[in-house]
Structure 1
Amino acid sequence: MVKLTIIGRIRDGMPLTQGLRYVNEDYNNIPFYKQHAEFILKEISRGSLALNPKMTIRLDHQHSFNCLVDSGVCFITLCDSSYPRTLAFHYLEDLRHELEKFQGDQLVENITRPYSFVKFDSVISSIRKQYVDTRTQANIKKLHANSGQELNIIVESLSTVVKNRKQLDYREKVVMAPQAVSLMWSSRRLKIIALKWTPIGIAITVVVTLLLWASLVMANYVALCS
């Protein structure tokens, strides 16, 4: 079953629309699924995932995200693992075709707020209804038409994607740390402070050294006199 759908812009990883919810959906888990779908969209936007037109990201043994990338837009749907992957990508292709009808004025590129493309929510819901039952004549026909064909889909687990993101974040911190220190010491304010206080610091060091030397000389003189 198709449980969740998100369409996002790859350029900045912004989710544009997610479709309407149904009464029989598991509301307790929807925020959890949505968060992971947004994470996948962001990783595709960052280029951390191989930019293949079709990808399947396994969430767990029960669910998988199917992703279709085309013309700067990413279509993501969460399905039961038992749901035919062929139908899942047919569903995403149908969404892609419908979205093309809205692209005349570059509406997708002009959207500035997440999930504000509400005009497309009803379109998602309408197409989704066609794929809820895999046993309909239309869906059986689609399955038979694609039987034996290679879908050319990259399959990855979400845990691997998360692990790769953590490693990339760590590497970025290691690389940026010396640069941050260098930038801090190269700032104009610190240069002014250094020019102002360095001579004073040197003078204080010299005075303290002379006082210590004088105290040692006096101590030796007193010892000799006694």
Structure 2
Amino acid sequence: MIFLTMIARVADGLPLAASIQEDEQSGRDLQQYQSQAKRLLRKLNAQSPDRCMLEAGNMNFYYFIAQDVCCLCLCEASFPKKMAFGYLEDLHNEFYEQYGRRVPTVTRPYSFIEFGRSNM
């Protein structure tokens, strides 16, 4: 299951869109993971690998970078790697098609939050 998805500009880590799947059944607090995700996105740059998986306890962060946009998700460790990267690539393609030209010019965090509400 995917619990958290974020899209950010790689140049400066500015969050562009986000979506959190509340996990009421397990009682997981996703705030700490959201903070970790934001820190990770701020550390990425043009030299970062274009796809990566990072362990976070019993969860994994996956990210995919293309065209100065990073799509990141948080999944259970048992979630298939191939599915996570497939999701991120599809998400990137859809996001970039809709907002790609505007990404370099936005200055406010979550400028494309409406994308997160309908597409993630």
Same fold (TM over 0.5): yes
| Aligned partner of residue 12 in structure 1, secondary structure | coil
Matches within 5 A, 1:93-132: 93-103=89-99, 106-125=101-120
Q: Is the aligned partner of 1:59 residue 2:59?
A: no
The residue that corresponds to 1:31 in the other structure is 31
**RMSD across aligned C-alpha pairs, in angstroms?**
2.1
Structure with the greater alpha carbon radius of gyration: 1
Query: What SS does structure 1 have at the residue aligned with 2:15?
Result: strand
- The DSSP-based 3-state class of the residue aligned with 1:112 is coil
**Residues 168-226 of structure 1: CA deviation (Å, up to 9, x unaligned):** xxxxxxxxxxxxxxxxxxxxxxxxxxxxxxxxxxxxxxxxxxxxxxxxxxxxxxxxxxx
- Greater per-residue strand proportion: 2
> What TM-score, normalized to structure 2?
0.87
Query: Within 5 A, what are the aligned runs for 1:1-226?
Result: 1-19=1-19, 21-22=21-22, 24=24, 29-45=29-45, 51-60=48-57, 62-103=58-99, 106-125=101-120
What is the rounded CA distance, in whole Å, between the counterparts of 1:89 and 1:114 in structure 2?
24
In 1, are the aligned partners of 2:3 and 2:21 still within 8 Å (CA)?
A: no
What secondary structure does 1:102 align onto? helix
Distance 1:24 1:81 in 2: 18
**Structure with bigger RCO (C-alpha 8 Å, 6+ apart):** 2
**For residue 9 of structure 1, what is the amino acid of its counterpart?**
R
Which whole-Å deviations, capped at 9, do the CAs of 1:58-110 have from their partners, x for residues lacking one? 111x1010010101011110000000010001110110110122136x22222
Are the structure 2 counterparts of residues 17 and 55 from structure 1 closer, same or farther at C-alpha, using a change threshold of 3 Å? same
Higher helix proportion (structure 1 or 2): 1
TM-score (norm 1): 0.48
Code of the aligned partner of 1:108: V
Q: Distance in 1 between matches of 2:118 and 2:103?
A: 15
Answer whether contact 2:52 2:62 (CA < 8 A) is retained.
yes
User: Match for 1:103: what amino acid?
Assistant: Y
Aligned residues with identical type, % of pairs: 30
Query: Does the CA contact (< 8 Å) of 2:2 and 2:21 recur in 1?
Result: no
SS in structure 2 at match of 1:116: coil
Letter in 2 for 1:31: Q
